[in-house]
């Protein structure tokens, strides 16, 4: 049996700590057994003692939360911070200390990135601006901890920075619903796109990709799709990334049952509506169809796209060039890896089999030698496992020796092998964005109507963009994004009669601030 241990606690004061413990009986040196108390977990500061198996705590990871023991396991439940008014003390009160270092750093980054300007134009009402900015700070600065927004607000510099914010769940839902409305959604991108592209919207060099958004909402875009062992409802999120600035610039939500190649025409048209003239796009194999290639040529859009293995151009190229594969005269080194590569100009058929229609294109065939060798090693291991006395037949040797690392890229542009390879691999930036955004609790999404859902995605889209920019400052550094968001929080601020007094920063915090070329203030005076 397990139970809670409460240290000294007076109702209305955070003077104690809670522990989850159990008793274990152990045999000592003698015959008799004795009981040892074993601590299973630290529950954090005690807010309310209910009984030996139920209480309210300020948990070190989850913040203000109710905790009870069910079936000898911890069960967490939500509590309303307004039931404990002494916790709602404002950081505006003289003598109040609060977390400062991470939020101040983020504030300066967002000012430099002009995010303040964009949000201010989207939410001109002070209450909405403060609330939305506070949500951004909570999402990013809580660094994956499951601390509720209202409690985070009371303990952080943002309550001083955004005093008009409303951080209860009802107001947050209202704000996200407003953000997802057609008017505000369009207003956001009307101001955000020129900021990202530096007003150069006529020659966008873009990468386009999509990701699935599993959800539990009643939405006409949500369709069941096969996922793992069962079926799950999902919406697809398509993102357009500007490869010059390396920033995501726009996204669109489409039906979860649509294939990527069915969406590209709509994306091109909507980009034109947004006055985003796509000069050059990079796409994965999922977007390749004859119709789409014809579309690109019709709109004079240059492209780089990976060919599917079942494409006739892919198969024909293998037949033509198989004798050249792995020939060292076609090998080159790119980004520390050795590739085999071959370029040829082709006529790509965008018409029907009986009514062919050809467009000029360039086909770049590559073999990643490292991947090919690893693939071939696995092939040999399997062959030897069958019968170690058998020797690999030559015809079995040829294809496995390269097929594991073989891929083809088609482009409307005449590039060098290195240029084409690097241009295509730039699309990995979108994949990094998806990973970082999903890690930031973009998924799963449940119990939201269609408009609130879109507002939620837009909110996480912006947070993901911010995290991506923070990561850009750390390329080649031992520090991670999590380090940047956690370490500076050791720096505290204290409200004074005239402003804020900032404590002493440790060495690591100073180093992080220097990375971003930001100075740590001694005091901040009220204006």
Summarised one tens digit per residue, pLDDT across range 162-189 is: 989 988 888 898 999 999 999 999 999 9
pLDDT bracket for residue 276 (50, 70, 90): confident
Between 523 and 327, the more confident residue is 523
Predicted local confidence at residue 245, as pLDDT = 83
Q: Residues with Cβ < 8 Å from 161, sequence gap 6 or more?
A: 103, 107, 133, 137
Q: CA 51 to CA 68: how far, in whole Å?
A: 9
Residue 281 Ramachandran class (φ > 0 left, ψ -120 to 50 alpha, else beta): beta
- Which of 53, 87, 121 is at the close of a domain? 87
Q: Do 122 and 181 contact (CB within 8 A), yes or no?
A: no
239 and 430 in contact (C-beta within 8 Å)? yes
Same structural domain for residues 96 and 169? yes
pLDDT band at 378 (very low <50, low <70, confident <90, very high): confident
CA pair distance 129, 212, nearest whole angstrom: 30
Q: Is the dihedral of CA 40, 46, 47, 53 positive or negative?
A: positive
Residues 66 and 107 placed together within one structural domain of the fold: no
Q: Is the pLDDT of residue 471 over 80?
A: yes
Residue at 166 is within a domain: yes
| pLDDT at position 397 over 50 | no
pLDDT bracket for residue 144 (50, 70, 90) = low
Q: What local confidence, expressed as pLDDT, does residue 399 receive?
A: 55
95 and 154 belong to one structural domain: yes
**356 and 409 both lie in a single domain:** yes
Cα angle 162, 437, 280 (rounded to 5 degrees) comes to 110
475 and 513 belong to one structural domain: no
Domain boundary among 62, 87, 112: 87
- For residues 410 and 313, the answer to whether their CB atoms sit within 8 Å is yes
For residue 351, how many other CB atoms are within 10 A of its CB?
12
CA 396 – CA 380 distance, rounded (Å):
10
pLDDT at 447 over 80: no
Is residue 43 included in any domain, yes or no? yes
Interior/surface letters 127-158, b for 16+ CB within 10 angstroms, e for the rest? ebbbbbbbbbbbbbbbbeeebbbbbbbbbbbb
Question: Which of 142, 175, 160 is closest to 59 using CA atoms?
Answer: 142
Q: How many CB atoms lie within 10 A of CB 102?
A: 25
Q: Coil, helix or strand for 483?
A: helix
Considering the domain boundaries, does residue 120 fall inside one?
A: yes
Pair (94, 120) in one structural domain:
yes
Residue 424: HSE in the Cβ half-sphere, 13 Å Cα cutoff: 25
pLDDT score of 261: 81
pLDDT of residue 89: 56
- State pLDDT tens for residues 74-97: 988 888 777 776 665 556 678 888
Among 188, 179, 103, which residue's Cα sits nearest to residue 140?
103
Stretch among 35-49, 51-65, 312-326, 434-448 having the lowest mean pLDDT: 434-448
Query: Residue range 312-324: average pLDDT?
Result: 89
- In this prediction, residue 211 carries a pLDDT of 85
Tokens representing 434 are 């998806």
Instruction: Give residue 104's pLDDT band: very low, low, confident or very high (50, 70, 90).
Output: very high
Range of the domain at 520: 485-525
- Would you say residue 430 lies in a domain? no
pLDDT score of 214: 75
Q: Name the token pair of 164.
A: 């008009």
Distances in whole angstroms, Cα of residue 272 to Cα of each of 39, 250, 266, 298: 62, 12, 10, 14
Q: Is residue 448 one of the residues assigned to a domain?
A: no
55 lies in the same domain as 138: no
In a domain, 275, yes or no: no
Same domain, 339 and 396: yes
Give the pLDDT score at 332: 87
Strands 337-349 and 331-334: antiparallel
- Please tell me the predicted confidence (pLDDT) of residue 282: 92
For 361-430, the DSSP string reads EEEEEEEEHHHHHHHHHHHHHHHHHH-TTPPPPHHHHHTHHHHTTEEEEEESS---HHHHHHHHHTTHHH
pLDDT reported for residue 443: 47
- Where does the pLDDT of residue 226 fall: very low under 50, low under 70, confident under 90, or very high at 90 and above? low
pTM across the whole model: 0.77
**Residue 366: pLDDT band by 50, 70, 90 thresholds?**
very high
**Domain identity same for 10 and 35:** yes
Tell whether 333 and 351 lie within a shared domain: yes
Pair (312, 413) in one structural domain: yes
In a domain, 176, yes or no: yes
Burial 432-462 (b: 16+ CB within 10 A, else e): ebbebbbebebbebeebebbbbbbbbbbbbb
- Give the integer Cα–Cα distance in Å for 401 and 406: 10
Q: Token pair 């079926």 is at which residue?
A: 231
Q: Report if residue 243 sits inside a domain.
A: no
Q: Which two tokens stand for residue 215?
A: 């959800």
Q: Tell me, yes or no, whether 332 and 353 share the same domain.
A: yes
Domain boundary among 417, 440, 455: 417
- The proportion of the chain whose per-residue pLDDT surpasses 70, expressed as a percent, equals 85
Q: 218-222, 306-310, 349-353: which has the highest mean pLDDT?
A: 306-310
pLDDT band at 227 (very low <50, low <70, confident <90, very high): very low
- Across the range 120-127, mean pLDDT stands at 92
Q: Which has the minimum average pLDDT: 147-156, 197-206, 345-354?
A: 197-206
Number of structural domains, the chain? 4
Query: How far, in Å, CA of 411 to CA of 313, rounded?
Result: 13
């Amino acid at each position: 049996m397990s139970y809670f241990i409460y240290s000294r606690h007076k109702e209305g004061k955070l003077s104690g700590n809670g522990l989850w413990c159990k008793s274990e009986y152990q045999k000592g040196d003698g015959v008799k057994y004795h009981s040892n108390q074993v601590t299973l977990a630290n529950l954090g500061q005690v807010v309310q003692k209910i009984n030996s198996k139920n209480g309210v705590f300020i948990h070190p990871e989850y913040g203000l939360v109710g905790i009870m023991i069910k079936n000898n396991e911890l069960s967490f439940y939500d509590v309303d911070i307004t039931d404990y008014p002494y916790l709602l003390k404002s950081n505006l009160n003289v003598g109040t200390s609060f977390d400062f270092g991470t939020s101040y750093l983020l504030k300066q980054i967002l000012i430099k990135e002009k995010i303040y300007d964009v949000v201010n134009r989207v939410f001109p009402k002070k209450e909405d601006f403060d609330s939305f900015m506070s949500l951004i700070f909570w999402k990013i600065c809580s660094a994956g901890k499951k601390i509720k927004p209202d409690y985070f607000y009371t303990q952080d510099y943002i309550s001083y920075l955004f005093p008009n914010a409303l951080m209860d769940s009802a107001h947050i839902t209202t704000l996200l619903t407003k953000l997802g409305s057609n008017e505000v959604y369009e207003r956001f991108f009307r101001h955000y796109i020129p900021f990202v592209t530096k007003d150069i919207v006529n020659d966008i060099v873009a990468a386009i990709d999509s990701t699935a958004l599993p959800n539990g909402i009643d939405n006409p875009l949500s369709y069941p799709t096969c996922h793992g062992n069962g079926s799950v409802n999902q919406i697809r999120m398509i993102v357009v990334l500007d490869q010059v600035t390396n920033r995501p610039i726009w996204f669109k939500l489409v039906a979860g049952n649509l294939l990527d190649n069915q969406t590209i025409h709509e994306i091109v048209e909507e980009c034109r509506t947004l006055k985003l003239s796509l000069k050059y796009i990079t796409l994965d194999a999922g977007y390749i169809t004859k119709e789409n290639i014809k579309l690109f040529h019709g709109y004079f859009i240059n492209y780089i796209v990976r060919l599917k293995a079942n494409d006739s151009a892919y198969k024909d190229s293998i037949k033509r060039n198989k004798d050249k594969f792995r020939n060292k005269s076609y090998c080159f080194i790119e980004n520390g890896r050795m590739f085999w590569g071959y370029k040829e100009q082709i006529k790509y058929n965008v018409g029907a089999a009986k009514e062919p229609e050809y467009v000029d294109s360039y086909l770049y065939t590559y073999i990643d030698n490292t991947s090919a060798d690893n693939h071939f090693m696995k092939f040999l291991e399997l062959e030897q496992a069958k019968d170690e006395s058998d020797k690999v037949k030559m015809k079995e040797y040829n294809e496995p020796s390269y097929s594991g690392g073989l891929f083809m890229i088609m482009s409307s542009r005449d590039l060098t092998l290195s240029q084409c390879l690097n241009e295509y691999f730039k699309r990995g930036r979108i994949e990094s964005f998806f990973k970082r955004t999903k890690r930031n609790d973009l998924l799963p999404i449940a119990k939201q109507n269609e408009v609130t859902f879109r507002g939620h995605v837009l909110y996480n889209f912006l947070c993901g963009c911010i995290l991506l920019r923070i990561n850009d400052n750390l390329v080649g550094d031992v520090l991670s994004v999590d380090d940047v968001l956690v370490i500076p929080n050791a720096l505290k601020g204290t409200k004074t009669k005239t402003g804020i007094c900032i404590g002493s920063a440790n060495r690591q915090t100073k180093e992080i601030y220097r990375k971003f070329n930001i100075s740590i203030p001694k005091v901040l005076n009220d204006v």
